[in-house]
Amino acid sequence: MKLFQVLLFNLNSRRCESEDKTASQVYVEELSNLCNTTGISLKEGANNENFKTFDSVKSTLQRRKSKLRPKLPNSLKDTKIEGDYLKTNEGKKFLILNRKNKILVFASSDGLECLSKCEFWAGDGTFHVAAKYFYQLYIIHGYYESNDSMCFCTNA
């Protein structure tokens, strides 16, 4: 069964370097594939002592995942928003405001249209998840036709 440890770890590592999924998503998918191949249930695979647990490989997979991301800046002044962070998955504009003092506003045109039709908005400011050098992440939620629509704002 040690072969399965190596196989699962290698697949996870390779996929973490090349796919835009979380390390835990990749791990679960690969464990599921491996269980299907070997004919055991996912529950048995997750509890099998011969398979590495997610917790045992988490830091390595996340380190591999970080290879996809740009290097962190050394200061707020060095912060650059480029590439995939400027557009939605459909290629539409996503960064709609980028002030010199690094007040950033991210929203899709569809999300803004949805927010404009909402009768009620709710603001949610949080500090502990803001990226390094940023003071706060502020999210505006709107409830529209049973859906939650959001606009992300960050400020330094």
Average confidence (pLDDT) over 20-48? 77
pLDDT at 43 over 80: no
Confidence of residue 93 (pLDDT cuts 50, 70, 90): very high
**Predicted pLDDT at 6:** 56
Quick one: which of 78, 69, 126 has its CA closest to 102?
78
Domain boundaries, the chain: 2-68, 83-155
pTM for the full predicted model: 0.55
* Mean pLDDT, residues 98-120: 85
Q: What is the pLDDT of residue 95?
A: 92
Tell me how far apart the alpha carbons of residues 117 and 119 are, in angstroms, rounded to a whole number: 7
